[in-house]
């Protein structure tokens, strides 16, 4: 059992938890993830490590309520525990050796972009952090992000905070204005990461995206997390989750992300499920 | 007087038409009367050829004599002297290639049903007795075992018996390895696996779950910082093989590992009561001819697939699956399309599988494995409609541990190099099972675990 030491509601859909897992906290690096299972009948889901405290022995996860497992998890409180918590999995991000980096986060993706920006900042790299949200009330981690970059640019789709528009527009403006980045990191929905990668391609700026496909074990055993990268099949769990955005086949990744849509619905509609009716989307 | 019947006593089983739609165990096992009758077929040969056929050298004639006398508890304890997992082995060992092949009764008629008797003794014991906690003198030395599959469990059991303080580190949330995630419930009930593992814990073996060694801790840390005197690697062959053909990333294409893990480990057959789903279509094509392919095909049937076909590139004679599994699959309605190989997988605009383009094969000259090499028949391409495709063309060892352990010698295929005692290129690091051989059998892995336990004991005792 892995105890929930702290729970913080970041907005009405996104929740932060610190989980006691000292051995994982000791080894965790930005870019890596954990797999958890809330209870015995539960599904194994991957969540990126949003932060870690090696002294306190805690690992921070930030998740959006998008399905049955995240809904169940959101109902756990401080002092409760999750049944299984395995990690740190995947390869750590390569963040050394850069001068100026643009970190682009979309929605929940900001929770994953944050530790990367933090590490870059610690390494003395100049960081522009472009964070996009649908609307003002969905903004998360604003203060934390501000602390780990040189420029924080917040955009909202509806203009309710920061500038109105998409992260790609903000990145594009800077590129047009002649800002030189030697790396762009894009983390968020597949459509957003594809758009950022397309934007940086003509500028030949190396662009790293973080893939988050369905997976079971997270150790290379199931192969469910296959991603086509430069014409080769890679496993996001062991080869990634970071990949070259210019080589990822986003079209197939987007199609693969739809495979269990029907089943996700069925999971909620099960008469035995006490979360029934929680999702009408 | 021995029972001179030329045939084994039949083992009751679920009718094929009924069992094809449930996850209950296919065979029911012997009753005590049946077991005694079958046990009397053993001639108790003085040279015991059967024992030589067993990778863990179970004392076969002795345990069978005890069954014949009606001492079922004694029979179980006799098996347990050399075999950590009798209820498992009685079910999944390929006895026809091992102990039963060597049986003298095999020369004229059928061999003694050693596997069925082993299973009977184990099941009878589990139902009627509880294992006493053995009084073992601890020697104060710690050994780490990586992977709670057959190799690791067997190694851990033998070391615990010798007084070692053993911790098994398992990456998944459940011990058992392939016994838990791979072999389906209808062939090996998970309650049986659980009980076998509990018996080990009863001996003092500790099992640490959710521990992905190579990530959370390295082999070197186990040795240098955590006080383990030796490490045994039994991480199996968990890396799924794909064919490298077009369309393998379409929705509806599974590796056999993923398909079986969803069903067995994550209990997708109880969905939505369990949260993990699996998508099984109406027409399922399984590619491969081993036990894993049979398991996948038979699982698909149990998900009410209307048509389940196995495509295998050689002929039935070359199939690596156990004859019993092939027969069971056929009885249940799996269609065998031999001398057929997929060329590409076809999909619709939404990215879902619609069919597989296959090509007919013919057998040419023998290849390195001694089997005749399959070659494509020109112009024989044809489309097999399917909405689910399961690729069961083999697994190789997971590279995760090797990548994070300096100085561990591996072959080109990624298997860890060991000698017959399970010694690797690193001192105090041992390995065995599928991680060293590539995908093989439960019992070979257990034999390797036993051999390594003996070597570890010899090495650590000499260090005193």
pLDDT digits (tens, 9 = 90+) for A110-151: 998 999 999 999 999 999 999 999 999 999 999 999 999 999
Stated pTM of the model: 0.94
Q: Contact, A17 vs A7, CB < 8 A? A: yes
Assess B254–A contact: CB distance below 8 Å, yes or no.
Answer: yes
> What CA–CA distances, in Å, run from B109 to B5, B100, B394?
8, 12, 34
Q: Which superfamily does B16-128 belong to?
A: Alpha-helical ferredoxin (1.10.1060.10)
Q: Across the interface, do A41 and B273 touch by the CB < 8 Å criterion?
A: yes
Pair A108, A206 in one domain? yes
Strands B372-376 and A207-210: unpaired
**Residue at token pair 């491969």:** B288
Number of domains in chain A: 3
Pair A70, A104 in one domain? no
Q: The domain that contains A23 carries what CATH number?
A: 2.40.30.10
Asked whether residue A281 is assigned to any structural domain, the reply reads no
Q: Which domain-ending residue is among A31, A66, A89? A: A89
Asked whether residue A177 is assigned to any structural domain, the reply reads yes
Pair A115, A194 in one domain? yes
CA dihedral B55, B60, B63, B68 (to 10 degrees): 150
Q: The domain that contains A145 carries what CATH number?
A: 3.40.50.80
* Residue of A28, A39, A86, A234 best to disrupt the B interface, most CBs of B under 10 A: A86
Pair A68, A111 in one domain? no
Please give the distance of CA A235 from its chain centroid, rounded to a whole number: 17
Q: Running DSSP on this structure, what letter comes out for residue A43?
A: P
Q: In chain A, which stretches have pLDDT less than 50?
A: 274, 276-281
Q: What is the pLDDT of residue A12?
A: 87
Cα separation, B300 vs B278, whole angstroms: 10
The dotted CATH code for B240-395 is 3.50.50.60
Pair A106, A182 in one domain? yes
Q: Contact, B386 vs B284, CB < 8 A? A: yes
> What CA–CA distances, in Å, run from B324 to A36, A160, A197, B17, B187?
38, 67, 53, 17, 11
Cβ contacts below 8 Å, chain A against chain B, sum to 121
Pair A165, A223 in one domain? no
Q: In chain B, which stretches have pLDDT less than 50?
A: none
* Residue of A223, A225, A265, A276 best to disrupt the B interface, most CBs of B under 10 A: A223
Assess B252–A contact: CB distance below 8 Å, yes or no.
Answer: yes
Assess B212–A contact: CB distance below 8 Å, yes or no.
Answer: yes
Is there a cis peptide before residue B340, judged by omega within 30 degrees of 0?
A: no
Pair A72, A141 in one domain? no
Cα separation, B286 vs B291, whole angstroms: 12
> What CA–CA distances, in Å, run from B359 to B249, B337, B440?
20, 11, 28
Rounded to 5 degrees, φ, ψ at B96 are -60, -20
Q: Which candidate, A188, A206, A191, places its Cα nearest to that of A246? A: A206
Q: Which domain-ending residue is among A89, A123, A158? A: A89
Q: Which two tokens stand for residue A8?
A: 């913080």
Asked whether residue A155 is assigned to any structural domain, the reply reads yes
Residue extent(s) of CATH 3.50.50.60 domains in chain B: 142-238+397-462, 240-395
In DSSP terms, B383 is beta-bridged to: B357
Pair A6, A102 in one domain? no
Asked whether residue A81 is assigned to any structural domain, the reply reads yes
The H-assigned helical ranges of B208-350 are: 219-224, 256-260, 291-302, 323-332
Q: Assign A254 to helix, strand or coil.
A: helix
Cα separation, B444 vs B7, whole angstroms: 27
For B427-460, the pLDDT digits (tens) are 999 999 999 999 899 999 999 999 999 999 999 9
Is there a cis peptide before residue A241, judged by omega within 30 degrees of 0?
A: yes
Q: How far is A15 from chain B, CA to nearest CA, in Å?
A: 21
Strands A100-106 and A183-187: parallel
Q: What is the pLDDT of residue B180?
A: 96
A167-176 vs A190-200: helix crossing angle, rounded to 10:
10
Q: What is the pLDDT of residue B208?
A: 98
Pair A98, A122 in one domain? yes
Which chain B residue shows the shortest CA-CA distance from A38? B275
Rounded to 5 degrees, φ, ψ at B293 are -65, -40
* Residue of B261, B272, B280 best to disrupt the A interface, most CBs of A under 10 A: B272
Q: Which two tokens stand for residue B406?
A: 């300096």
Pair A107, A77 in one domain? no
CB neighbours of A227 closer than 8 A, spacing ≥ 6? A211, A213, A233, A234, A235, A236, A240, A243, A248, A249, A253
Tell me the fold of B142-238+397-462.
Answer: FAD/NAD(P)-binding domain (3.50.50)
Q: Contact, B332 vs B20, CB < 8 A? A: yes
Q: Contact, A193 vs A245, CB < 8 A? A: yes
Collect all residues of chain A within an 8 Å Cβ-Cβ radius of residue B393: none
Assess B230–A contact: CB distance below 8 Å, yes or no.
Answer: no
Assess A29–B contact: CB distance below 8 Å, yes or no.
Answer: no
Q: What is the pLDDT of residue A163?
A: 84
Q: Which two tokens stand for residue A204?
A: 């030949």
Strands B283-287 and B388-391: parallel
The b/e string for B445-460 (b: 16+ C-beta within 10 A; e otherwise) is bbbbbbbbbbbbbebb
Q: Which domain-ending residue is among A210, A234, A266? A: A210
Cα separation, A96 vs A29, whole angstroms: 13
Cα separation, B275 vs B266, whole angstroms: 8
Q: Contact, B298 vs B269, CB < 8 A? A: no
**Residue at token pair 């383990």:** B228
Q: What is the pLDDT of residue A270?
A: 63
Range of the domain at A76: 2-89
Pair A199, A247 in one domain? no
Collect all residues of chain B within an 8 Å Cβ-Cβ radius of residue A217: 171-172, 261
Q: Which candidate, B249, B302, B245, B248, places its Cα nearest to that of A258? A: B249
């Amino acid at each position: 059992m892995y105890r929930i030491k702290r729970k913080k509601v970041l907005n009405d859909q996104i929740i932060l938890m610190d989980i006691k897992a000292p051995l994982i906290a000791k080894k965790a690096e930005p870019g890596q993830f954990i797999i958890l299972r809330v209870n015995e009948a539960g599904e194994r889901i991957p969540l990126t490590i949003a932060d870690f405290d090696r002294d306190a022995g805690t690992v921070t996860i930030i998740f959006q309520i998008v399905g049955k497992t995240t809904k169940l998890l959101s109902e756990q409180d401080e002092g409760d525990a999750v049944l299984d918590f395995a990690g740190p999995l995947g390869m750590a991000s390569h963040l050394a050796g850069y001068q100026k980096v643009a970190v682009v986060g979309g929605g929940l993706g900001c929770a994953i972009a944050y530790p990367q920006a933090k590490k870059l900042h610690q390494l003395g790299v100049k960081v522009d952090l472009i964070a996009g949200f649908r609307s003002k009330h969905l903004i998360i981690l604003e203060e934390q992000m501000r602390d780990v970059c040189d420029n924080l640019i917040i955009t909202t789709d509806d203009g309710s905070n920061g500038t109105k528009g998409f992260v790609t527009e903000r990145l594009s403006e800077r590129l047009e204005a002649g800002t030189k980045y030697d790396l762009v990191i894009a983390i968020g929905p597949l459509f957003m990461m594809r758009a950022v990668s397309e934007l940086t391609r003509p500028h030949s700026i190396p662009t790293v995206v973080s893939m988050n496909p369905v997976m079971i074990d997270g150790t290379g055993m199931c192969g469910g997390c296959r991603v086509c990268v430069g014409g080769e099949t890679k496993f996001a769990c062991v080869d990634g989750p970071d990949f070259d955005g210019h080589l990822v086949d986003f079209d197939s990744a987007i199609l693969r992300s739809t495979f269990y849509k029907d089943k996700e619905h069925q999971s909620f509609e099960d008469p035995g499920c006490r979360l029934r009716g929680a999702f009408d989307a | 007087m021995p029972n001179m019947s030329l045939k084994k006593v039949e083992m009751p089983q679920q009718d094929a038409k009924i069992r094809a739609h449930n996850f209950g165990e296919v065979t029911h096992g012997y009753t005590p009367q049946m077991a005694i009758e079958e046990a009397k077929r053993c001639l108790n040969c003085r040279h015991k050829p059967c024992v030589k056929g067993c990778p863990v050298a179970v004392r076969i004639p002795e345990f069978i004599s005890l069954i014949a006398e009606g001492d079922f508890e004694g029979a179980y304890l006799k098996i347990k002297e050399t075999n950590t997992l009798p209820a498992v082995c009685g079910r999944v060992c390929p006895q026809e290639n091992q102990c039963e092949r060597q049986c003298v009764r095999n020369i004229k008629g059928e061999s003694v049903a050693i596997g069925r008797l082993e299973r009977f003794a184990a099941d009878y014991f589990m139902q009627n007795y509880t294992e006493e906690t053995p009084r073992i003198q601890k020697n104060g030395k710690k050994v780490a075992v990586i992977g709670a599959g057959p190799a690791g469990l067997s190694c851990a059991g033998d070391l615990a018996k010798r007084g070692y303080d053993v911790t098994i580190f398992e990456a998944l949330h459940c011990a058992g390895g392939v016994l838990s995630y791979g072999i389906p419930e209808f062939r090996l009930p998970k309650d049986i696996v659980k009980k076998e593992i509990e018996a080990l814990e009863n001996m003092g073996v500790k099992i640490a779950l959710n521990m992905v060694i190579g990530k959370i801790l390295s082999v070197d840390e186990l040795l240098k910082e955590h006080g383990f005197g030796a490490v045994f690697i039994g991480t199996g062959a968990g890396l799924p093989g794909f064919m490298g053909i077009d369309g393998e990333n379409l929705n509806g294409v599974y590796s056999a590992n993923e398909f079986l893990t969803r069903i067995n480990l994550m209990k997708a057959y109880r969905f939505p009561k369990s949260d993990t789903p699996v998508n099984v279509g109406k027409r399922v094509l399984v590619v491969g001819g081993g036990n894993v392919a049979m398991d996948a095909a038979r699982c698909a049937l149990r998900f009410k697939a209307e048509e389940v076909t196995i495509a295998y590139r050689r002929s039935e004679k070359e199939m690596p699956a156990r004859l019993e599994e092939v027969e069971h699959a056929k009885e249940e309605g799996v269609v065998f399309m031999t001398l057929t190989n997929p060329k590409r997988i076809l999909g619709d605009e939404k990215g879902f599988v619609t069919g597989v383009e296959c090509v007919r094969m013919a057998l040419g000259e023998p290849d390195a494995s001694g089997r005749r090499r399959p070659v494509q028949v020109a112009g024989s391409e044809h489309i097999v409609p399917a909405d689910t495709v399961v690729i069961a063309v083999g697994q190789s060892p997971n590279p995760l541990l090797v990548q994070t352990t300096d100085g561990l010698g591996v072959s080109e295929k990624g298997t860890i190099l060991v000698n017959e005692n399970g010694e690797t290129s690193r001192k105090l690091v041992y390995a065995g099972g599928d991680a060293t051989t590539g995908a093989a059998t439960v019992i070979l892995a257990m034999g390797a675990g036993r051999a390594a336990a003996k070597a570890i004991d010899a090495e650590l005792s000499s260090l005193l």
